[in-house]
Chain A
């Protein structure tokens, strides 16, 4: 090993999330404390489905910088909206001056990137030739990498960069990519996160699988019947742990990854892959399962996901560890979910809060979990945050406070 020692973890020095429950951390924390639900009936674009979504207000009013106008699409507008909250951009620029632009990596998760721009372009094709109208820029918008490319250019970073696009585990897995790059000595710090935005592909796609609910989603409810799709931008700046970290500093202590090897769009019924990922995160962090204060569940509110995840969680943690899914509040923000929920975990640890499972009425008693329906104050020092996705991809993050080291 010739890079950074990551055994004790890495420091999440700055973070921010913007979703339908709020722009930035203060609004997000207030919404979590109140148990807000940010979902509403879908009015997005021309979508005519009986489903609810977590839409971020004002995304299309965001103006891209003139020099970066070829990145203009809903996904990159949402990325920009996220980057300018909570002083995140300034924190990165400060890190850039300290480490050097080429020593800060960028690893972002997205599932559909700016494909909405291509969906619009297909509706506006020349009726005779089938050609796009002028002005369509594939590389800056639709391409999976565009959000990382935009972010590198906006922040003036020139280190290694990539998008991780493994469906709904994408922006949890970016923490693993950054950790490896830092351990290998290729970079000294990294901007990670996830950005996914509403588009027809995911709304009609999840509908085709019968996985969207006709109302606001109800994770772990006895009557849960599917997801509500949301959109979000979440970012974190990862640096080496300082010599004397503040007691409430948030540390990335483990990233557990696995594959189900089972089915493209259904989880392993016993949650085997999910359990492997959580066990691997615990092992990297050097934690016993009973030391974990709170599990932020993937909890999409589909019948099969929640049942499989409950088996995996109760199998590993027993039935006492507090847990909840925050997707009843934010919706399922797909490739941004891992990033959003890492920020929620950080807020929970720094502000002493167990987030509640908003939207859930009667918890499914066949699932053996200590499910927190209501938000409540509590000392939270160690969190496991789960993100799983199509293709059987699983990622669990172990996030802890420095005073729990």
Chain B
């Protein structure tokens, strides 16, 4: 079955891609891609106590989420949300495992509550006051596709608008060697059931067995391959280019997502 929705707002942060507005021309192929480490800003949305306690994945998720809802001109309290990530906060996980391997295993309460996979979702609801349903998913390398399908299903079930945040952070060694995600990367989309004044593009999505699209620019393709959330980059490229495009996004080993993107 084909799932249809409109994209009303986009957020983006990743290596050499400092925001959707800033990276748009690069993704449209009109400016060269210049690699650079991801700079994650402080979580300005959070009250001071929570801001101090939040880790990289929370700051990243809040940053892209805020860019998307601002562009869509929607109140976050009115949006259901989907947070999808391969593995949560890498630094925090490493610190906990290192402490638990030592003699003093008394990890801190803040480290523990930041270790839950739904930390970003929890902080987002605290920051925005959104009491709406929030789905929190992982599907390893397929996490972007899983999040997109869940968001589309929410919109199909009657949620007028849904915020999707797909975000991943890097692990330090030794976990980095086992899961070599190179840097922090996040995409946020505000999906809407109906076309509105802020709609950027119309999506229609079906499952397919065709192979996923690769990106011609080597540096951007390297991101797509190495960071699960960056599997959504072909979608952002198609939107940046404008017009209508048929693309295929990587998802599970057994299926991919065929997406028709048309500018509004």
Chain A residues close to B by CB (< 8 Å): 1-3, 48, 102, 111, 115, 118-119, 121-123, 125, 130-132, 136-139, 142-146, 148-149, 152, 158-167, 173, 176-177, 180-181, 183-186, 200-201, 204-209, 257-265, 272-273, 276, 389-393
Q: What 3 A-B pairs have minimum CB-CB distances, sorted nearest first?
A: A391-B122, A185-B1, A205-B112
| Per-residue contact bits, chain B 114-136, to A (CB 8 Å; 1 contact, 0 not) | 11111101110110111111111
Q: Is the CB of B138 within 8 A of A144?
A: yes
Q: Is the CB of B116 within 8 A of A184?
A: no
* Contact flag A1-B156 (CB < 8 Å), given A145-B140, A206-B112, A393-B118: yes
Q: Is the CB of B107 within 8 A of A165?
A: no
Contact of A149 among B117, B131, B140 (CB under 8 A): B140
B190 within 8 A of A: no
B73 within 8 A of A: no
* Contact flag A180-B156 (CB < 8 Å), given A259-B131, A261-B131: yes
Q: Write out the residue numbers on chain A whose beta carbons fall within 8 Å of the beta carbon of B207.
A: 102, 160, 186
> Considering the chains assembled together, what is the distance between the CA atoms of A217 and B113 in angstroms?
21
Q: Is the CB of A272 within 8 A of B131?
A: yes
> Considering the chains assembled together, what is the distance between the CA atoms of A200 and B99 in angstroms?
10
Q: Is the CB of B101 within 8 A of A119?
A: yes
Q: Is the CB of A263 within 8 A of B153?
A: no
Contact of B107 among A115, A144, A173, A208 (CB under 8 A): A208
> Considering the chains assembled together, what is the distance between the CA atoms of A131 and B174 in angstroms?
6
- Closest chain A residue, CB of each to CB of B145: A160
Nearest CB in chain A: distance from B111 CB, A: 8
Chain B interface size, under 10 / 10 to 19 / 20 to 34 / 35 or more: 35 or more
> Considering the chains assembled together, what is the distance between the CA atoms of A300 and B234 in angstroms?
44
Q: Is the CB of A186 within 8 A of B125?
A: no
> Considering the chains assembled together, what is the distance between the CA atoms of A184 and B205 in angstroms?
12
Contact of B139 among A130, A145, A259, A260 (CB under 8 A): A145
Task: List 17 contacting pairs A-B, 8 Å CB cutoff, sorted by A.
Answer: A48-B105, A122-B97, A122-B100, A130-B174, A138-B179, A145-B138, A152-B254, A163-B137, A173-B135, A186-B149, A200-B100, A208-B108, A259-B122, A260-B131, A273-B131, A393-B134, A393-B136
- Kindly count the residue-residue contacts between A and B in the assembled complex, taking CB atoms under 8 Å apart: 226
> Considering the chains assembled together, what is the distance between the CA atoms of A270 and B3 in angstroms?
38
Q: Write out the residue numbers on chain A whose beta carbons fall within 8 Å of the beta carbon of B136.
A: 164-166, 393
Q: Write out the residue numbers on chain B whose beta carbons fall within 8 Å of the beta carbon of A167.
A: 116-118
* Contact flag A258-B132 (CB < 8 Å), given A163-B137, A167-B118: yes
Q: Is the CB of A258 within 8 A of B96?
A: no
* Contact flag A180-B173 (CB < 8 Å), given A166-B117, A393-B136: no
Nearest CB in chain A: distance from B30 CB, A: 35
Q: Write out the residue numbers on chain A whose beta carbons fall within 8 Å of the beta carbon of B8.
A: none
Nearest CB in chain A: distance from B156 CB, A: 4
Q: Is the CB of B178 within 8 A of A132?
A: yes
Q: Is the CB of B153 within 8 A of A183?
A: yes
Q: Is the CB of B101 within 8 A of A165?
A: no
Q: Is the CB of A158 within 8 A of B254?
A: yes
* Contact flag A201-B100 (CB < 8 Å), given A136-B178, A393-B121: yes
Q: Is the CB of A166 within 8 A of B100?
A: no
> Considering the chains assembled together, what is the distance between the CA atoms of A78 and B150 in angstroms?
27
> Considering the chains assembled together, what is the distance between the CA atoms of A143 and B2 in angstroms?
30
Q: Write out the residue numbers on chain A whose beta carbons fall within 8 Å of the beta carbon of B97.
A: 115, 118-119, 122, 201
Contact of B118 among A122, A166, A180 (CB under 8 A): A166
B252 within 8 A of A: yes
Q: Is the CB of B86 within 8 A of A143?
A: yes
* Contact flag A180-B112 (CB < 8 Å), given A204-B107, A257-B133: no
- For window 80-103 of chain B, which residues contact chain A by CB distance below 8 Å? 84, 86-88, 93, 96-98, 100-101
> Considering the chains assembled together, what is the distance between the CA atoms of A2 and B156 in angstroms?
9
Q: Write out the residue numbers on chain B whose beta carbons fall within 8 Å of the beta carbon of A125.
A: 101, 174
> Considering the chains assembled together, what is the distance between the CA atoms of A155 and B7 in angstroms?
36
Residue from A130, A144, A185, A272 with most neighbouring chain B CB atoms (10 Å): A144
- Closest chain B residue, CB of each to CB of A210: B109
Q: Write out the residue numbers on chain A whose beta carbons fall within 8 Å of the beta carbon of B105.
A: 48, 200, 204
Contact of B150 among A111, A180, A276 (CB under 8 A): A180
B255 within 8 A of A: yes
> Considering the chains assembled together, what is the distance between the CA atoms of A242 and B114 in angstroms?
44
Q: Is the CB of A208 within 8 A of B122?
A: no
- Closest chain A residue, CB of each to CB of B122: A391
Nearest CB in chain A: distance from B103 CB, A: 10
Q: Write out the residue numbers on chain B whose beta carbons fall within 8 Å of the beta carbon of A136.
A: 178
B152 within 8 A of A: yes
Q: Is the CB of B131 within 8 A of A205?
A: no
Q: Is the CB of B179 within 8 A of A181?
A: no
Residue from A131, A143, A260, A264 with most neighbouring chain B CB atoms (10 Å): A264
> Considering the chains assembled together, what is the distance between the CA atoms of A257 and B159 in angstroms?
13
Q: Is the CB of B118 within 8 A of A389?
A: yes
> Considering the chains assembled together, what is the distance between the CA atoms of A155 and B156 in angstroms?
28
> Considering the chains assembled together, what is the distance between the CA atoms of A166 and B254 in angstroms?
25
Contact of B1 among A132, A184, A209 (CB under 8 A): A184
B154 within 8 A of A: yes
Q: Write out the residue numbers on chain A whose beta carbons fall within 8 Å of the beta carbon of B107.
A: 201, 204-205, 208
* Contact flag A132-B87 (CB < 8 Å), given A273-B131, A391-B116: no
- Closest chain B residue, CB of each to CB of A205: B112
Q: Is the CB of A3 within 8 A of B156?
A: yes
Q: Is the CB of B98 within 8 A of A122?
A: yes
Q: Is the CB of A162 within 8 A of B137?
A: yes
Q: Write out the residue numbers on chain A whose beta carbons fall within 8 Å of the beta carbon of B130.
A: 259, 261
* Contact flag A183-B129 (CB < 8 Å), given A125-B174, A259-B121: no
> Considering the chains assembled together, what is the distance between the CA atoms of A165 and B114 in angstroms?
13
> Considering the chains assembled together, what is the distance between the CA atoms of A125 and B175 in angstroms?
11
Q: Is the CB of A208 within 8 A of B100?
A: no
> Considering the chains assembled together, what is the distance between the CA atoms of A163 and B84 in angstroms?
10
> Considering the chains assembled together, what is the distance between the CA atoms of A244 and B58 in angstroms?
48
B34 within 8 A of A: no
Nearest CB in chain A: distance from B98 CB, A: 6
Q: Write out the residue numbers on chain A whose beta carbons fall within 8 Å of the beta carbon of B154.
A: 180
Q: Write out the residue numbers on chain B whose beta carbons fall within 8 Å of the beta carbon of A392.
A: 122, 125-126
